[in-house]
Amino acid sequence: MNIIELENMEFRGYHGCYREEQVVGNQFMVNLRLETSSMVASETDQIHDALNYQQAYNLVKKQMATPSHLLEHVGKRILDALFAELDLLERATVKVSKLNPPMGGKMDRVSITLTQQR
């Protein structure tokens, strides 16, 4: 089993329950851990034998552009899209963080982490 990590991907998004979040938006950070077998790719050195992490990034970017009320919903959509498109994916963990959330006090971020496997 091999692990590919896409770390600290930043996106502007309109996720949240409050009207202001849906209009003004916020900064989000996404971390992705993809587990796959890349034995063939390590021998052939061919992209079609590997899990394409550029494709994974594009799937995350697309889901982050679609507004949701809950981070849990965003995370689940990301995992569903990854498993629908990446045949070599065996297990994935996504962490979605809202930076500077409107909580009424100083806070760096609030995060959710979801894991799914084939």
82-105 CB burial, b ≥16 within 10 A, e <16: bbeebebbeebbbbbbbeebeeee
Q: What is the pTM of this model?
A: 0.90
User: How many other CB atoms are found less than 10 A from the CB of residue 79?
Assistant: 21
Q: What is the structure's pLDDT at 88?
A: 95
pLDDT tens digit string along 49-108? 999 999 999 999 999 999 999 999 999 999 999 999 999 999 999 999 999 877 678 889
Q: What is the structure's pLDDT at 90?
A: 97
First to last CA, the chain: 14
For the chain, what is the radius of gyration of the CA atoms?
Answer: 16
Q: What is the structure's pLDDT at 38?
A: 80
pLDDT tens digit string along 6-57? 999 999 988 887 787 687 778 999 999 999 988 888 889 998 899 999 999 9
Is 95 annotated as catalytic?
Answer: no
Q: Per the residue annotation, which of 61, 62, 95, 98 is the catalytic one?
A: 98
Q: What is the structure's pLDDT at 3?
A: 95
> Would strands 89-99 and 26-36 be described as parallel, antiparallel, or unpaired?
antiparallel
- CATH of span 2-117: 3.30.1130.10
So where are the chain's domains? 2-117
The region that residue 25 occupies, defined by phi over 0 for left and psi between -120 and 50 for alpha, beta otherwise, is left
CA dist., res. 36 & res. 108, Å (int): 32
Q: What is the structure's pLDDT at 98?
A: 93
